[in-house]
Amino acid sequence: MIENQSENIENKENEFSNQDNPPNDTLPSEDQIIENDKFSTQKTEEINTEELKNTISNNDARLEQLEKEHETLKNQYVRISADFDNFRKRQSRDQDDLKIQLVSKTLTAILPIVDNFERARQQLKPESEEAQSLHRSYQGLYKQLVEVLKQQGVSPMRVVGQQFDPNLHEAVLREPSEEFEEDFILEELQRGYHLEGKVLRHALVKVSMGPGKQNSQEEVEKDTVEENIDSEENTSEDV
């Protein structure tokens, strides 16, 4: 009895051991495991490669978009910078023009005083000591006034003997001249002035009409014609 029980126990133990250790033909082979690993690895690499390509493609598209945005912003900056530079130059030019206009207006109002000083200097001929002293004081004031004008950039025109230029001169009189050719200035009637290279006041001038020889020649020819007519009339009367 006891032997039968021991045999049963051994049989059960063998069954349990057979269940824990399946037969060799049911386990996967080592080559199959390696093959599965290779396939899994290849699949993973393909997935990673595809993701990498998508990432690169997205980055290229993003880079191209950023380059376009950069170019657009750069062009906008260049235009804004150019507009601002032009605005700054225009403002500076307008301020300079306004300054010149204000100075010109003030100086133009002073020029008649300078004219009066010059006329008085030409007309006055002091004889006594007291008159000469007064004249020197007067000349000192005139020199100070001229110096102030120079400091402001005012310079007088020199016109006598120059060719007439309507941008600088204003012709008041015209007369024949043996000394100057036609359209050359004979005399300055009122002095003109420049301000920083621009005309502050036009000079009033007398302009030459050229030599009077042409007029004299015409008169001689006219007299000759009249004499010929008279001689012809006398001849016809004699006949």
Is 65 within the bounds of a domain? Answer: no
Q: Which CATH number do you get for residue 196?
A: 2.30.22.10
Residues 141 and 119 in one domain: yes
For residue 168, the model assigns a pLDDT of 93
| N-term to C-term CA, the chain | 207
Q: In terms of residue numbers, what domain contains 140?
A: 108-124+131-152
Is 207 within the bounds of a domain? Answer: yes
Is 61 within the bounds of a domain? Answer: no
Q: How confident is the model at residue 237 (pLDDT cuts 50, 70, 90)?
A: very low
Residues with Cβ within 8 Å of 132's Cβ and at least 6 positions away in sequence, in order, are: 126
Residues with Cβ within 8 Å of 156's Cβ and at least 6 positions away in sequence, in order, are: 191, 192, 193, 194
Instruction: Sort strands 203-208 and 193-195 into parallel, antiparallel or unpaired.
Output: unpaired
**For residue range 216-230, what is the model confidence (pLDDT) as tens digits?**
444 445 555 455 545
Is 93 within the bounds of a domain? Answer: no
The mean pLDDT of 2-31, rounded to a whole number, is 51
Is 64 within the bounds of a domain? Answer: no
How far out from the chain centre does Cα 212 lie? 51
Instruction: Sort strands 193-195 and 198-201 into parallel, antiparallel or unpaired.
Output: antiparallel
Q: Is 34 helix (H, G, I), strand (E, B) or coil?
A: helix
**For residue range 38-64, what is the model confidence (pLDDT) as tens digits?**
666 766 766 777 778 788 888 888 888
How many domains are there within the chain? 2
Is 7 within the bounds of a domain? Answer: no
Residues 170 and 203 in one domain: yes
**Half-sphere exposure of residue 119: CA atoms within 13 angstroms, side-chain side:** 9
Is 199 within the bounds of a domain? Answer: yes
**What is the share, in percent, of the chain residues with pLDDT greater than 90?**
26
**For residue range 132-183, what is the model confidence (pLDDT) as tens digits?**
787 788 888 888 988 999 998 899 999 999 999 999 999 999 999 888 889 9
Tell me the one-letter amino acid at 78.
V
**What is the share, in percent, of the chain residues with pLDDT greater than 70?**
69
DSSP string, 85-141: HHHHHHHHHHHHHHHHHHHHHHHHHHHHHHHHHHHHHHH----SHHHHHHHHHHHHH
Is 18 within the bounds of a domain? Answer: no
What's the mean per-residue pLDDT of the chain? 77
The candidate with the shortest Cα–Cα distance to 15, out of 24, 7, 26, is 7
Q: Is 204 helix (H, G, I), strand (E, B) or coil?
A: strand
pTM of the predicted model as reported, rounded to 2 decimal places: 0.53
Task: Report the alpha-carbon distance of residue 122 to residue 191 in Å, rounded.
Answer: 14
Q: What are phi and psi of 42, to 5 degrees?
A: -65, -40
Residues 179 and 199 in one domain: yes
Task: Report the alpha-carbon distance of residue 206 to residue 216 in Å, rounded.
Answer: 22
- Count CB-CB contacts under 10 A for residue 107: 19
Tell me the one-letter amino acid at 88.
R
